[in-house]
Amino acid sequence: MAIETLSNKKSSQSANYLRHTKIPTILFESPKEVDRYVSQAVEDLIRKNNSAGKLTVLGLPTGSTPIGVYRELIRLHKEENLDFSNVITFNLDEYWPMDPDSIHSYNLWMRDTFFDHVNIPAKNIHIPQGNLDHDDIDVFCDEYEQEIEKVGGVQLQLLGIGLTGHIAFNEPGSSRNSLTRIVSLDPVTRKDAADSFYGEDNVPHRAITMGVSSILSAHNIIIMALGEHKASIVKKTCEDRVSEEITASFLQTHPHATFAIDQGAGSELTAVKTPWLVGPVVWNKILRKRAIIWLSQKVNKPLLKLEKGDFAEYQLHDLIKDGTTANNVCQGVFEEMLAGVCNYPAGKVEDKKNTVIVFSPHPDDDVISMGGTLITMADQGHDVQIAYMTSGNIAVFDHDALRHIDYVDEFLSAFNLNDDESQSIIAKMKDNLSNRKPGDPDTSELLEVKGLIRKTEATTGAIAAGVPAEKLHFLNLPFYKTGNVSKRPVGNDDIEIIANLLRKQKPDQIYVAGDLSDPHGTHRMCADAIIGALKVLEKENFETEVWLYRGAWEEYEPHEIERAVPLSPEMTVRKKFAIFKHESQKDQALYPGSDDREFWVRAEERTKNTARIYNDLGLPEYHALEGFILYRGQL
């Protein structure tokens, strides 16, 4: 039984199957469209089986990728009467050892995220048990397989994909014939999970997982991937040969497997990155620019030195037919990129002093991502303001918090300001830090201290960039205030806080983190909140220019960049010093993502690399460049 194809469903018209993939792959404009597509496949299967009086058997994943699917299924249950009473579920995996009520347990995660909000009978829910004695694991795993067989197999298996290409916890080297078992976790997998455990050292080394064969026995499979940090592994999974080194590649052998991805996750696929290599394309201005820049880089020639033969050799002769010359098309791209180099990003102050708000998801994204542009606008005399959207308090090491608590304790003693209440608070926090177990969440008092650390660092960093303290807005958006890595959905309260700031300040320009690579998801959620506020303000005839910048993980590709702001060597040093003010994030950040480089190193190398690309394309040589694109209604 195959699930319905895209053409039979009510999914976005912008989605399409991609050429040149060995797993049928559907590209969607946004993560929300992926969520709708997958949840609708689940809904259709349940309603069809309910009408026929049959059970529905689902295989379910955990992690950040399926959260949107679970939220949509909950909505369908509560608002559209989707009945889960005849649904049986089998979860893919669980850490071992792991108490089912631990905040790190997939058992608790599934209850909090999904099971407690729908009417699946408790007896129908199956999750690997992380609290088993080691001697009992093999028997449990055999019984897990038997339970799946007893109900006729999984009808629809949902999957995510790990950075190593694993499905469930089938790490590189897992056999095609593997069944449910205990496994050792790859170091990359453990590092990727470090956020959820408040540090890599707290991540278990082992897990119980359904095997590759167990997964492939499902009648239908939908695997999902979201964000640019998954782009490389998506390409290997979909385009390279089947290999035990990438267990997701075994899905190439499944007759009813579908890959559902967003733009970020699909950005490295051949049909997306270089579509002219896999079939005919409908050329437009954007695609033409991308192809010509690609050709320049491919033949290692500046734009204005490309020749007719270069276009013919790489199957791009369509770009110079009908009397159009190579020089004409290359000159157009060259002039467009040159016009985008901007020394006055907020305009010339003698023409108009503009109000600019830079929205920073975390307290350091402003200086890391666009610190040079920030300094430029402030130096040129514009009214530059920074809105820090979240506290960033979970990303501070305990030892940094303890250092600040000790400082306050010594300060109070030095000036005879001690009282019983302050000493009680200090003693309580020190006791908590000394007695907490690895992976325990912070107390509310400790979160407050860590938030103050990030706030004072942000203030000194902004001042170093030329933005005074009175021009800073600490929004502390409610969606972030869970005390955990996982956040609640962006709500109307978040949107209204932003809308009120925009109403009051009436900025001529705003800058928004538009990157898809943030492994924590906070950047995406902050962008959604800003866009929600702009939609509210549209009804009030509010207008502003919106520019998108990238975060610490990636820079825009040269064909995407619409504004490139030059950074001199002196400006680069000032930007670096502003980043240095974030002492709790220096040397070793608590959640650096998969990139081990310090944030200032990432920022400097990224901007210098962009300048090198421009230079290689034949544009004027710059020391460094920060890239931006204009927001037009889609991230």
Can you give the C-alpha Rg of the chain in angstroms?
Answer: 26
> Cβ–Cβ contacts within 10 Å for residue 19, how many?
14
Residue located via tokens 């299924």: 73
Contacts of 387 (CB under 8 A, 6+ apart): 357, 358, 359, 360, 472, 473, 475, 498, 501
**Strands in 436-567 per DSSP E:** 472-474, 509-513, 545-549, 563-567
Amino acid at 362: H
Cα–Cα distance for residue pair 20/77, rounded to 1 Å:
37
| Residue among 33, 72, 94, 171 flagged as catalytic | 171
Which amino acid is it at 493? D
| Distance in angstroms (rounded) separating the CA atoms of residues 302 and 395 | 43
Tell me the residue length of the chain. Answer: 635
Q: How far apart are CA 329 and CA 291, in angstroms?
A: 11
User: Beta strand pairing status for 16-17 and 25-28?
Assistant: antiparallel
DSSP-derived 3-state class of residue 363 = coil
Could you tell me how far CA 82 lies from the centroid of its own chain? 30
Alpha-carbon gap, residue 563 to 625, rounded angstroms? 10
171 carries an active-site annotation: yes
**DSSP states of 176-231 as a string?**
TT--SEEEEPPHHHHHHTGGGGTSGGGS-SEEEE--HHHHHTSSEEEEEE-SGGGH
Q: What is the secondary structure of 287-335 as a DSSP string?
A: HHHHHHHHHHHHHT--GGG--HHHHHHTT-GGGG-TT--HHHHHHHHHH
> What's the CA angle centered on 195, arms 35 and 603, to 5 degrees?
90
CA distances in angstroms from 267 to 225, 249, 273, listed in the order given:
11, 18, 6
Residue with tokens 């402003």: 366
CB burial string 152-168: b at 16+ within 10 A, e below: eebbbbbbbbbbbbbbb
Which structure tokens are listed for 138? 């093999």
CA distance 576 to 579: 5
d(CA 331, CA 324): 12
User: Do residues 447 and 405 touch, judged by C-beta distance below 8 A?
Assistant: no
Residue pair 562/617 in contact (Cβ under 8 Å)? The answer is: no
Q: The sheet that has 93-96: what strands, in order across it?
A: 93-96, 206-209, 181-184
Pairwise CA distance, residues 426 & 428, whole Å: 5
Q: Residue 328 burial (CB < 10 Å; 0-12/13-18/19+)?
A: exposed
Catalytically active residues are: 171
